[in-house]
Each structure stands twice: as C-alpha cells, then as structure tokens.
Amino acid sequence: MTGLATSRNRAAPHAASSSSSSSSAALRASVMRGLRAEVKTLSPALFYDAEGARLFEEICRLPEYYPTRTEHAILARHAGELAAHAGPGCALIEYGSGAGVKVRYLLDRLERPVAYVPVDISREQLLDVARERAGQYPGLRILPVCADYTTAFELPALPSSARRVAFFPGSTIGNFHPAEAGAFLRRVRHVVGRTGGLILGVDRRKDPRLLHAAYNDSAGVTAAFNVNLLTRLNREFGGEFNLDLFRHRAFFDDATSRIEMHLEARVAHTVCVGGEAIQFDAGETIHTECSYKYDRPRLEALAEAGGFRVEALYSDDRDWFWEAWLVPAETCCQNP
C-alpha cells in the first residue's frame, strides 16, 4: 500500500466536517446565504457530522429504508457479471468509499485487479478502510485518495494499461440535482477515459407510499437525522434554533421525481444565527435534501448528459433499485 494522496478538502454528500479554516469560512457563508434566501435551503452535506453519520448508519438498518439492503442483494447476486464487464486487470476507483463494505462484492469477483483507489474526504475512515482491505486482499495495490469526490481531484499513478472502472454505490447520485449529476458524471467520464466504465447505484421510481415510508420511518430516525442539522448549526455556526419549534417533513414530488426533505417551522418566530436574525413564518421550511428517483428514460438522459450510455442494468426481485453498468458514449469526444 502506498501513502495517502490528498486533494482539495471540501464538504461532500458523505463528508464529515472539514477542518481547514478557509473551507469552514466558505461553509459558513453558504449556510448564511441559504438561510437568507427566499426559499431557505441548506446543503445535505451538512447532515454528516459525527452524529449525522451515526444516524445515517441507523437509517440504513431501518425496515422502511430499503435502498441499502436492496443494493447489497443486487451486488451479492450480480457481482460476477459486473466484474466481467469491468474485465481483467482493472483499476477500481470508489467515489465516497465511506466504510467501503459494498466494494468487497466486486473485489471478491474481479479478475486480477491492479489497484483499488478509495476516494473519501474523511481521512481517518479512509485510512482504516485502506488498512483493512490491504489485509483482506494481499497483493492488491490500495491507493487511498483523501479528496472531495464531487470536485476534480488528482488520481495516483496507475498502470496505463489498466482499464479504469469507477464505482459510485448507495444511490448518492440521487442527492445531486440533475445538472449537478450530469456535471459529476462528466468528471467521472474524464477520470475513466474512453475505455473505462462506471458501476452506479441508482434508486428507482416506485410506489410513492414506499418512498414516503422510507423517509418518514416509524422510529423517527430520519426525523432525528434531519433535525440534527439544526443542532449542528447551533454548535458550529452560532445558531440559536429551538429544536422543538421545527418538525421533519419529507414527501415525494412526482413532477420532479424526487423526495424532498424539509425542516418546517411550527410557529412564526425569529432565530438568531451567527448574530443575524432569521425570520420564519409558521409553516415555512428549510429545504435540506432532495433524493431523485430514476426511471429508465431519466437514467438514460443522465448517462447521456455525463458522456456515458447505459450498457447493462441489474435489479432486485422487486425492481426497486439498479446497479447500472455505464460505458463511455461513442459520441463523447471532448475528453480523452
């Protein structure tokens, strides 16, 4: 295993808070901009402080929250086919590797992979995962990169003959707005080059009642995850939110094909944040997250916007989730 490569350090969908003062000033400015806006909006990246990351792990185990266990089942069943698409001797690059559990289905089945490149902003977890995988896959080069994978980052040197295959599981692509998702895929397309590929976890459109239940679980964990954002604003951004005056709201919007999560003010009141008064009407919300759900035309449009085409789709028995195999579109010629 070689050393840790570091790139720019900004918050990502699964990132713990960044430590550098310039990035925390930028984060503070974006929080204040979001709270001053006509439609109050905060970045979902703010969910993932230590408590938020813990609550998200709990969400993944909830009976109503199907994506995690469904994706595991697809990977357990189809890892062999995905590995065959990747081909022998590939370099596997995982975007937002986190605890790096799902990648094991692929590493177990890939034919003589030359390298595994986990990319994550959380340095400590990245190093833990790199050490663990090194023990589990002796002989495999593990090249961790500490970076915000939502922006351009530098890859470690890889053998030029190795096909580059990106892995972005978890349906985190759904937390990007369509234009951001297209831009993200274009960056991935640039990284994997003309001959590479992308294994992408995608949550599918389905009965809105199932979606509603997944984001309004009966144990209230998703609500706690959402409200925890206010606790973070109080602790890190000089907020004085009274948590009892806000409630969790999540609903599916059919027209945009997305779950929206909001924090709704129960009564009209004013909150002081960083010395500034922020006015809330009764029922007014802070929009905290979108989670887009894809059907085939939407996924194909996304792939096309990113310079890919959908070559194969693997789903579960209930057709709730996809593990998609995307390859560069022939028409995409702007990048190498």
Residue 143 or 292: the one with the smaller Cβ distance to ligand AVI is 292
Q: Does 257 bind ligand AVI (CB under 6 A)?
A: no
Q: Sort strands 91-95 and 115-120 into parallel, antiparallel or unpaired.
A: parallel
Residue number of the CB atom closest to ligand AVI: 291
Residue 175 or 315: the one with the smaller Cβ distance to ligand AVI is 175
Nearest to 256 by CA among 205, 222, 180, 209: 205
C-alpha to C-alpha distance for 135 and 114, rounded to whole angstroms: 16
Phi, psi of 244 (to 5 degrees): -70, -15
Q: Does 291 bind ligand AVI (CB under 6 A)?
A: yes
Nearest to 71 by CA among 200, 234, 259: 200
| Of residues 127-186, those binding ligand AVI (CB under 6 A) | 170-172, 174-175
Terminal C-alpha separation, the chain: 28
The answer for residues whose C-beta is within 8 angstroms of residue 146's C-beta and 6 or more apart is 4, 5, 6, 7, 9, 120, 121, 123, 126
HSE, CB side, 13 Å, CA atoms: give it for residue 171: 25
Q: How far is the CB of 221 from ligand AVI (least distance, A)?
A: 9
Q: Does 289 bind ligand AVI (CB under 6 A)?
A: yes
C-alpha to C-alpha distance for 163 and 305, rounded to whole angstroms: 22
Q: Does 228 bind ligand AVI (CB under 6 A)?
A: no
| Of residues 200-219, those binding ligand AVI (CB under 6 A) | 215
Q: Does 41 bind ligand AVI (CB under 6 A)?
A: no
Q: Does 118 bind ligand AVI (CB under 6 A)?
A: no
If one counts every other C-beta atom within 10 angstroms of the C-beta of residue 4, the result is 14
Q: How far is the CB of 154 from ligand AVI (least distance, A)?
A: 25
Size of the residue set binding ligand AVI (CB under 6 A): 11
| Of residues 44-83, those binding ligand AVI (CB under 6 A) | 59, 67
Of 150, 222, 257, 285, which lies in the binding site for ligand AVI, with binding defined by CB under 6 A? 222
Q: Does 98 bind ligand AVI (CB under 6 A)?
A: no
Nearest to 260 by CA among 269, 270, 251: 251
Q: How far is the CB of 171 from ligand AVI (least distance, A)?
A: 5
Instruction: State the residues that interact with ligand AVI by CB under 6 A.
Output: 59, 67, 170-172, 174-175, 215, 222, 289, 291
